[in-house]
């Protein structure tokens, strides 16, 4: 049974000058950085890291895991300018055995400026190769707190 959702993870990100382009607005690729950085902030918030400092060390037991992306997308509704602060609302839309789908709603002054989705697969370094593996139970429990009310976890 699922824990009840504690709603989206909220994180704020100011648009930096280097992220704008000659059209005067945040470059469309920047939104993928915002989404990823919100996801990393969520990981810190639940007490872990998406890319542990010892990731490249070889260990037989309990190898560190990371989450390479297999698919991502973004829809843009309004341009965003230098120094505007984006409110990132992150939900876990789907929690599979090995994969997690994040849904990001991005707002500036209460207006939705973009919506995106990132699908990542839990992977660990086994004999120098990145291989998909089940999401560790403790992390699963933490991530399930951000499940969308209508979502299901498959465990």
Indicate which single residue of 28, 97, 134, 155 sits in contact with its own copies (rule: CB under 8 A): 28
Token pair of 49 as six digits:
């890291």
3-state percent helix, strand, coil for the chain, nearest multiple of 5:
15, 40, 45
The CA distance from 10 to 20, in Å, is 23
Indicate which single residue of 8, 11, 42, 74 sits in contact with its own copies (rule: CB under 8 A): 74
Token pair of 25 as six digits:
């607005």
Q: How far is the CB of 21 from its own copies (least distance, A)?
A: 5
> Rule CB under 8 A: is residue 60 a binding residue for its own copies?
no
> Rule CB under 8 A: is residue 75 a binding residue for its own copies?
yes
> Rule CB under 8 A: is residue 83 a binding residue for its own copies?
yes
Site string for its own copies, 105-134 (x = CB under 8 A): -----------------------x-x----
List phi, psi (to 5°) of 9.
Answer: -85, 130
> Rule CB under 8 A: is residue 98 a binding residue for its own copies?
no
The CA distance from 7 to 93, in Å, is 11
Q: Please identify, using beta-carbon distances, which residue of 74 and 95 lies nearer to its own copies.
A: 74
The CA distance from 32 to 132, in Å, is 22
Residue 133 has a CB neighbour count (10 Å cut-off) of 15
Question: Under the rule (CB under 8 A), what is the footprint of its own copies?
Answer: 16-18, 20-25, 27-29, 32-33, 36-37, 40, 44, 49-51, 53, 55-57, 66, 68-76, 79, 81-83, 128, 130
């Amino acid at each position: 049974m699922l824990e009840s959702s504690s709603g989206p993870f909220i994180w704020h990100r100011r648009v930096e000058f280097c992220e704008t382009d000659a059209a005067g607005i945040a470059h469309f690729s920047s939104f993928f950085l915002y989404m990823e950085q919100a996801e990393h902030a969520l990981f810190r918030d639940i007490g872990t890291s998406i890319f542990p400092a010892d990731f490249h060390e070889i260990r037989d037991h309990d190898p560190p895991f990371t989450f390479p992306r297999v698919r991502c997308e973004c829809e843009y509704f309004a341009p965003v300018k230098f120094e505007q602060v984006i409110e990132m609302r992150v939900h876990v839309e789907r929690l599979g055995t090995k994969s997690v789908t994040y849904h990001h709603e991005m707002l500036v002054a209460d207006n939705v400026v973009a919506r995106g989705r990132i699908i990542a697969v839990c992977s660990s370094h086994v004999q120098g190769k990145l291989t998909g593996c089940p999401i560790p139970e403790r992390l699963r429990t933490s991530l399930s707190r951000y499940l969308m009310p209508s979502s299901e976890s498959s465990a």
